[in-house]
Amino acid sequence: MGLSDLLGFSRLKTGLTRTRDNLTTQISRMVKGKTTLDDALLEEIEEMLIGADAGIDTSVAIAGEMKRLAREKRYVNDEELNALLREAVLSHFKQQDYCGFDEVVSSISKPVVVVVVGVNGVGKTTSIGKLANRYRQAGKKVLIAAADTFRAAANEQLEVWAARAGAGLLTQKPGADPAAVAFDSYTSARSSGVDLLIIDTAGRLHTRVNLMEELRKISRVLKKVDPSAPHEVLLVLDASTGQNGLNQAKQFKAAVDVSGIILTKLDGTAKGGIILAITSELGLPVRFIGVGEGIDDLEPFSAEAYVESLFGSERAVE
C-alpha cells in the first residue's frame, strides 16, 4: 500500500463517517445482551443493507450468508458480529482489493484509450479531470477528447479541468459527430506520443436507443484505427443511485462492453450499495471512487476499505 492508498482509505472513511457511526451504534444497540443471531436481528441487518441501496435481493443474500456463517461460528459480542457482517458482505462482493487500472495503463503500447460513459449528472467530466491529474502526476502525457458535443458548455467545463490537470484537450464544435472527435483524438494522440487518451462522452440515459447506438459507433470507429481500443471503458456511477444503477450497468455493458466503474459522490451520506449487486451480477470491478470536488479527490477502490468503512468497528472521529 502506497501513500495514496492510505490517503484514499482515510478519505473514504471521512466520507462514510456518518454511515459507519450509524451502523456501529445500530449494531451495538441491536446485539446488546444477545448471544445468537436470531431472525429479528437478521431482518434488521437486511434493512440496514437495503438502506445502503444494496437492494433487496442482495441484502437477503447477505443476511442468508450471515446466517450460514453464524451456524459455523456462534458469535457472542458486537465485535464478532461486525466481523461476521464484513465477511458475509465480502464473500458476496465478488471484487477483492483490486484496482487494476494502473496495470492497464502501463501494460499496453501507447496511447491507452479510455472511454468514459454514464447517465447525465453523475460526474463524468469531473472524474475525467481527476483521472487526468492522477496520471499527469505519475508523469504520463495525457490528452482529453471532448466527445460530449451535445450539452451546452461541456467543452468549457472540460477546458477548466484540463488546464487544472495539465492535460491536453481536443475539442470540436458543439453538434459535431462524437465518433469523429474520438477518431481525431486518437490520430492526434498517436502522432504526438500521448500515453493516455481519455474520451469524455455526453451523459445519456441507458434507455435511449439512439444515444446508446452513438456510443457503439465511437467504439467501432476506435477499433478501426486500433483493434484493441478502447482499452478501458469506465462507467461513472453516482453513489446516490438506487436500484436503477444495475440497469444502467447492464445497458452500458451491453452497448460498449464496460470494463470498470468509477463510483462518485461518496463524500455525501449515500453509500453506493448498488455496486454490491453490480459486481456480483456483472463482475464489473470498481476502479476508482470520487470523494470530493477537489482534483485529488479520486482514489483507487479497495473492497476491503469500502466494506471496512461501511461496517468498521472503531468509532469515527468527526
Partner 1 sequence: MFEELSSKLDLVLKKLRGEGKLTEENITGSLREIRRVLLNADVNYKVTGEFIESVRERALGREVLQSITPGQLIVKIIHDELIGLLGGVSAEVGYADPPPTVILVAGLQGSGKTTFCAKYARWMKQQGRHPLLIAADVQRPAAIDQLEKLGKEIEIPVYLERGAGAVSITSKGIEHARKNARDIAIVDTAGRLHVDQEMMDEVAAIRDAAKPHEILFVVDAMTGQDAVNTARAFNDLLNFDGAVLTKMDGDARGGAALSLRATVGKPIKFIGIGEKLDALERFHPDRMASRILGMGDVVTLVEKVQEQFDEKKAVKLEEKLRKSRLTLEDFLEQLQQIRSMGPLDQVMGMLPGMPKLPQGAAVDEKALVRIEAIIRSMTPKERNHPQIINGSRRRRIAAGSGTTVQDVNRLMKQFDQMQKMMKTLTRKGPKGRRFRGLGLPS
Q: Which residues bind partner 1 (CB under 8 A)?
A: 18, 47, 50-53, 55-56, 119-123, 150-157, 159-161, 205-209, 238, 240-245, 247-248, 251, 265, 267-271, 273-274, 293
How many CA atoms, within 13 angstroms, populate the side-chain half-sphere of residue 301? Answer: 25
C-beta closer to partner 1: residue 47 or 80: 47
C-beta closer to partner 1: residue 98 or 150: 150
Rounded least distance, CB 35 to partner 1, Å: 27
- Rg value, the chain, Cα: 21
Dist. CA 146–CA 168, nearest whole Å: 11
Rounded least distance, CB 153 to partner 1, Å: 4
C-beta closer to partner 1: residue 116 or 189: 116
C-beta closer to partner 1: residue 92 or 231: 92
Give the residue from 40, 46, 90 showing the smallest Cα distance to 64: 46
64 phi and psi angles, rounded to 5 deg = -65, -40
Place of cell 471484487: 95
Rounded least distance, CB 125 to partner 1, Å: 8
The residues with which 146 forms a beta bridge, in sequence order, are 200
Rounded least distance, CB 187 to partner 1, Å: 26
Across the beta sheet with 196-201, the strand order is: 168-170, 142-147, 196-201, 112-117, 232-238, 260-264, 286-290, 298-300
C-beta closer to partner 1: residue 69 or 316: 316
Rounded least distance, CB 91 to partner 1, Å: 23
Amino acid at 286: V
Give the residue from 289, 285, 281, 284 showing the smallest Cα distance to 305: 289
C-beta closer to partner 1: residue 25 or 269: 269
C-beta closer to partner 1: residue 164 or 190: 164
Rounded least distance, CB 243 to partner 1, Å: 5
The residues, any chain, with a CB within 8 Å of residue 89's CB and separated by 6 or more, are 62, 276, 307, 310, 311
Rounded least distance, CB 51 to partner 1, Å: 5
Give the residue from 304, 297, 306, 298 showing the smallest Cα distance to 274: 306
